[in-house]
Amino acid sequence: MVTVPLSTDSYADKSDHVELRHQLHHGPTREVMRYLVSCALAPGQEVKYHDTLTSEDYTFKGEMGLCPDWADNAASVECQELVTACLLVRNNALGKKVAISMRGEVPGVPPGEDSPPLLYPQSVVSTVVHAENGNVIASFKRCASPEVGAGRDCGWKPAHVGKCAPGQQVHIGAGANPPGRCEDPSVLGSSSRPTVLRVCDGIRGCNSTTPNFIDHSEGSCGSDRPALTFTCPNSGYFSVMSGPRASGGPGEATPEVLDAAGLAVYPAEEIDVFKWPEGAFYGNLWGSGALHPGIANDKNIVTSEGFFDAAPAVIGSVFRRAFTCTGRFWTRQEAYMADRVCAGGVSDCAATWVGACDVANSKRSIAPRCPRLYRCASADGAVVPGDGDFDDCQGRPDEGPWSRPITVFLNNPTDIVSDPMNSETMGTPDAPGDADCR
């Protein structure tokens, strides 16, 4: 797979590479391919597949551009490791759509026009348009027929995420002041035409009937420009939606916020929205001995007749050189990672959990018992100081450190656990959890 280009020709049912023929006939394999192409190739690059057994066509689009050269050449080792980390990060055993911040480094490539921007914290965070089940929130879909006003649940556009102090009154406007501040000569924000605003609790957008809905406005202080005042939610984050007053019409809004304490920030930076370090993911899914010895080479393939020959389940990780370590704040790290990479079980895991990522997250009393291989040499890679990405992380004791991990930060630690009410799996932002080195 990594010895040939990641291209349409390579995966065609009549490909010169016999072992790749018909593999994309299998639905779950296509889902993996979607993530693979998304991680490896850049926007504008794609892999197409025509299923000769069903006459259906599929297109897999590039997104992150971790190794765009794979489109025309074999994948380098650097490419394999970056894509491995990306796939492990985006693997979600619970099937939830979770917004995350991915941070890492492409060796020798500093942040800039030629580097994958999604591995470095951005200056803004867009309002999330998908619900946890992966479906687009109804308010972001086109209206079936023209609708007017802020009460509609269609025809909205995502704006950005802001942060605030819970309980604090926050004013937001796009060319007007909210009620109670009409006499203020300076207005908040701007709008090119009559527009609407909606504010939601957290980083996801909302419908007018969903629990995270806060308020909306289609005009304020006698103006056709929107503005409103809301109380900062307990989450400390709010997401903004905007749109033309009449669905499908023209109109762009540039919201601005104000609060008495000066603590509200809109838009907020990614590094301030995603503050919970989940951990690091790294390794290589390819190469000699990559698979669990219990998986035969002739399993998990699709025959020319379209039959998928599945391998039996294996205890532990399917991949022998795929690893994850845990960031701070997790009080029961092993239980958490079982949720993350094994769907709460012990078989067919995507990676092997190897303990705490760095020494600061390990029990001081047992530090001498903690082998060096269970930690990353750095808790903040050198390319972007302060972004908190782990670097040079150990996996198996007979191998050197992996220099291309991707570190995940969450907006809320409950985003990725099966039981959000079970506080035993997490600590608090001020009290890192204890990590047993095993």
398 falls within a domain: yes
Question: Per-residue pLDDT tens for 127-171?
Answer: 999 998 889 999 999 999 999 999 999 999 999 999 999 999 999
Same domain, 59 and 163: no
Q: CB–CB of 102/408 below 8 Å?
A: yes
Distance between CA atoms of 415 and 100, rounded to whole angstroms?
A: 9
Q: Residue 322 above 90 pLDDT?
A: yes
Statement: the pTM of the whole predicted model exceeds 0.75 = yes
Q: Would you say 283 and 323 are in contact if contact means Cβ atoms under 8 Å apart?
A: yes
334 and 259 share a domain?
A: no
Give the residue from 75, 109, 129 where a domain finishes.
75
Note whether 245 and 156 are same-domain residues.
yes
Are 418 and 279 in the same domain?
Answer: yes
| 437 within some domain | no
Question: With bands split at pLDDT 50, 70 and 90, how would you rate the model's confidence at 107?
Answer: low
For residue 12, pLDDT beyond 80? yes
Concatenated DSSP letters of 89-147: HH--TT-----EEEEE-BTTB-SSTTS-GGGS--S--BPB-B-TTSPBPGGGSPPSS--
Stretch 79-94: mean pLDDT: 89
Higher pLDDT, 409 or 429: 409
Task: Tell whether the model's pLDDT for residue 405 goes beyond 90.
Answer: yes
pLDDT over 50 at 40, yes or no:
yes
Which of 75, 96, 124 terminates a domain? The answer is 75
pLDDT score at 346: 77
The mean per-residue pLDDT over the stretch 369-397 comes to: 79
Confidence of residue 333 (pLDDT cuts 50, 70, 90): low
The two structure tokens encoding residue 163? 């942060």
Burial of 259 (0-12, 13-18, 19+ CB in 10 A): middle
Higher pLDDT, 337 or 364: 337
pLDDT of residue 417: 66
Per-range mean pLDDT, top range of 229-243, 321-335, 373-387: 229-243
In a domain, 144, yes or no: yes
Residue 85 resides in a domain: no
Which residue, 26, 53, 75, sits at the end of a domain?
75
For residue 209, give the CATH number of its domain. 2.60.120
Specify whether 418 is located in the same domain as 290.
yes
Instruction: Flag whether 346 is in a domain.
Output: yes
Q: Which residue would you say has higher pLDDT here, 299 or 397?
A: 397
Same-domain pairing of 282 and 411: yes
Structure-token match 């400390």, residue found = 236
Question: Domain tally for the chain?
Answer: 3
Q: Which of the listed ranges 41-45, 103-107, 385-389 does the model predict with the highest average pLDDT?
A: 41-45
Can you tell me which residue has the tokens 């991990």? 405
Given a cut of 60, whether residue 435 has pLDDT beyond it is no
Residues 330-339 have a mean pLDDT of 68
Per-residue pLDDT at 29 exceeds 70 = yes
Helix (H) or strand (E) holding 39: helix 27-40
Predicted confidence at residue 420, as pLDDT, reads: 52
- Residue 364 phi/psi, 5-degree rounding, is -60, -35
pLDDT in tens, 345-381: 678 888 988 888 886 544 433 344 444 444 798 888 8
Check residue 14 and give its pLDDT: 94
103 confidence band (pLDDT: 50, 70, 90): very high
**Assigned domain for 94 exists:** no
How many Cβ atoms sit within 10 Å of the Cβ of residue 404?
25
Q: What angle do CA 426, 428, 429 make, to 5 degrees?
A: 125
Q: Assess whether 407 and 289 both reside in one domain.
A: yes
Indicate the average pLDDT of the chain: 85
> Are 284 and 321 within one domain?
yes
7-11, 264-268, 292-296, range with the lowest pLDDT: 292-296
Cα Rg of the chain, angstroms: 24
pLDDT classification of 115: cutoffs 50, 70, 90: low
**pLDDT for 432:** 38
Same domain, 52 and 6: yes
Q: Are residues 332 and 366 located together in one domain of the fold?
A: yes
Provide the residue range defining the domain that includes 198. 138-268
195-201/237-244 β-pairing: antiparallel
Same domain, 298 and 411: yes
Q: Is residue 226 part of a domain?
A: yes
Is residue 47 domain-resident? yes
In the predicted model, is pLDDT for residue 386 greater than 50?
A: yes
pLDDT at 225: 94
Closest CA to 79 of 42, 48, 121: 42
| Residue 418 confidence class, pLDDT cut points 50, 70, 90 | low
**Lowest-confidence region among 32-46, 204-218, 228-242, 353-367:** 353-367
> Same structural domain for residues 392 and 345?
yes
Check residues 111 and 22 and name the one with the higher pLDDT. 22
Q: Tokens 């689009």 correspond to what residue?
A: 61
Residue 284 CB partners (closer than 8 Å, separation 6+): 77, 80, 81, 84, 290, 321, 322, 402
